[in-house]
């Protein structure tokens, strides 16, 4: 849940394995695949975006030491889903398909 908010976490139209494009921040314009969604915090981890360098000492669990690059979460409001058909970032609409609610591209109307 977002800090200071009450109730259910926000409904997000971004899912794991979606391709997204960053629309604001230092990584603006980069595209990547969603690796993890943190619905309670309205954040997601995208491959190759928001990279941080972690200085790590060897321990019993982690033998690898040195400077490790890792992806940090980014706010879901800073990304847009990329449509598979028109290859452009788009807002996500909803439609009924086979009796179920499905996501669709607002630009071209195709199902995501």
Task: Write out pLDDT tens, residues 33-48.
Answer: 999 999 988 999 999 9
Taking the C-alpha atoms of 29, 30, 34 and 40 in order, what is their torsion angle to the nearest 10 degrees?
-50
* Residues 73, 39 contacting (CB under 8 angstroms): no
Say if residue 55's pLDDT is above 80.
Answer: yes
Half-sphere exposure of 35 (CA within 13 A, CB side): 13
Tell me phi and psi for residue 43, to 5 degrees: -135, 160
For residue range 64-96, list pLDDT tens digits in order.
889 999 999 999 999 999 999 999 999 999 999
As a CATH number, domain 19-105 is: 2.30.30.30
């Amino acid at each position: 849940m977002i800090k200071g908010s009450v109730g259910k976490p926000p409904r997000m139209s971004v899912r794991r394995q979606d391709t997204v494009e960053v629309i604001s921040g230092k990584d603006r314009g980069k595209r990547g695949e969603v690796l993890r969604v943190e619905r309670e915090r309205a954040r997601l981890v995208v491959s190759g975006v928001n990279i941080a360098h972690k200085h790590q000492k060897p321990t019993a669990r982690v033998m690898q030491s040195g400077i490790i690059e890792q992806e940090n979460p980014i706010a879901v409001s800073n990304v847009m889903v990329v449509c598979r058909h028109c290859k452009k970032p788009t807002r996500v609409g909803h439609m009924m398909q086979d009796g179920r609610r499905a996501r669709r591209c607002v630009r071209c109307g195709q199902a995501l």
